Chains A and B, each alone.
Chain A
């Protein structure tokens, strides 16, 4: 499995809502997501921008937060989702 990244933003309510779900997911299935804040960290922002061609087509043509991303297979999950949807995505990355 490649590296799993969560691009998030400090003042994004969707990201705030997803954080406890991500914590729960990490505990429940024993994976770790790298959480990268993009509006207050230029390195993280540049990294997200470097994946623009992969991320944007799956997120309404833009770099939206939160975005979940697997650097190995380029799989993307975009936006605020139910816990089960997040878990399903994460388990798919394991397979």
Chain B
């Protein structure tokens, strides 16, 4: 089961099965100690980080930079999808895919949070795009 970990030097928070050997922020070695979800929530909430659509788009473009896929160059399509993603966040709490409905099983629905693990989608494997088409394989675009 995944747990929360805190860097005792710089208070970085990590959620995972194991703590990182080296803190990615302060580079301290063997610096992580297990903490409660409540402590992690309080520390994570220290800095308020708002994401508007523009910032989210920048984040996913950055995310794709070193990957075999990219954000779809069809700007109209991307705009429609981001409208949906943000409407879903406002109405349902998380950035759920606008082309798949939540089941109300929280763990199952985490698979729908954008960006999802679309590399396993049959549409990505067969046609080179995630189910909604927000991400496409680079070679698909020419």
Residues in A lying within 8 Å of B, measured CB to CB? 7, 9-16, 38-40, 45, 48-49, 52, 60, 62-65, 79
Contact = CB atoms under 8 A, between A and B. Distances in A.
Interface string B99-137: 111111000000110000000011100000001110000
A13 B122 contact: no
Instruction: Assign chain B's interface to a size class.
Output: 20 to 34
B103 A9 contact: no
A9 B84 contact: yes
B133 to A, nearest CB: 6
Contacts, number: 64
A52 B103 contact: yes
A12 B132 contact: yes
A39 B88 contact: yes
Contacts of A62: 100, 103, 111-112
B87 interface: yes
A64 B88 CA distance: 15
19 contacts: A9-B99, A9-B101, A10-B98, A11-B83, A11-B85, A12-B99, A12-B132, A14-B132, A14-B133, A39-B98, A45-B102, A60-B121, A60-B131, A62-B112, A63-B100, A63-B102, A64-B100, A64-B101, A65-B101
Contacts of A10: 84, 98
B104 A49 contact: yes
A62 B84 CA distance: 18
Contacts of B121: 60
B108 to A, nearest CB: 9
Contacts of B84: 9-12, 39
A88 to B, nearest CB: 20
